[in-house]
Amino acid sequence: MKLYHLGLFLIATSFCKAQSSYQFGILPSLNINKKLPNDFKLNFELESRQELKSGLFNMPGDFNFEYELTDFSVLASKKIAINKSLALGFLARISDGKLTGRSIQQYIVTTRYPGFILSHRVSADQTFSKDEGTEYRLRYRLSSEIPLNGQSVDPKEFYINLSNEYLNSLQDNTYDLEIRVGPFLGYKFMDTKKLEFGLDYRINSFLKNSPGHRFWIGINWYHAI
């Protein structure tokens, strides 16, 4: 809880700084999950960022649609307990005509409580590109699914998906911390089809420089086959 308050404090104080930059855009994603025998699962994700506006907070800016990047990732996971799983995968990023690769390792614990579900995700990734040094990241994300009716989310019901993530990154001996907050409204068409809409807010560079704020309107489709 203290970490959460620290995050909110950092976000609030960072707005007060001059020269804070912002980026606003849309971030649709398609998430497909395929169950395999013996508690193995494959997760495919396609995510694309489109910028609508960017600049400095204290300066006026115009709307300008600009395609930024597309990520395609594949994760293979294995349940190691009824509520715990390990995942390994790879992400390919296409941005400015360049291809970047990222290897991913994840440990996920999902716990059901009366009235909500909590998921802890500890993740490490390494990003490789030709032009820059390898970026190493260690991430922790807490997500919760809160039904808007009853004690669990049933088909044809709305829910809230709240997430808070802390990303530590190290690249060329430079450390940075990024904090993400994601309040989303979801609708479960059936257990295998869910649609979420909300804001994905990210802040970074606030430890040593002027912070960078990024606001993405997220539209996520989850499909299990």
| Binds another protein by CB under 8 A, chosen from 16, 82, 96, 113 | 82
Does 28 bind another protein (CB under 8 A)? Our answer is yes
| Binds another protein by CB under 8 A, chosen from 46, 74, 76, 181 | 46
Site size toward another protein (CB under 8 A) is 52
- d(CA 135, CA 137) in angstroms, rounded, equals 7
150 alpha carbon, distance to own chain's centre: 27
Does 143 bind another protein (CB under 8 A)? Our answer is yes
Does 117 bind another protein (CB under 8 A)? Our answer is yes
Q: Which of 24, 22, 17 is nearest to 56 (CA)?
A: 22
**Kind plus residue range of the DSSP H or E element containing 86:** strand 84-95
| Contact present, 78 and 40 (Cβ < 8 Å) | yes
| Contact present, 102 and 95 (Cβ < 8 Å) | no
- We find the least distance from the C-beta atom of residue 170 to another protein, in angstroms, to be 24
φ, ψ dihedrals at 141, nearest 5°:
-130, 135
| Binds another protein by CB under 8 A, chosen from 21, 23, 48, 210 | 48
State the residues that interact with another protein by CB under 8 A.
Answer: 28, 30-33, 37-39, 43, 45-46, 48, 50, 67, 75, 79, 81-82, 85, 108, 110, 114, 117, 119, 121, 143-145, 149-155, 161, 163, 186, 190-196, 219-225
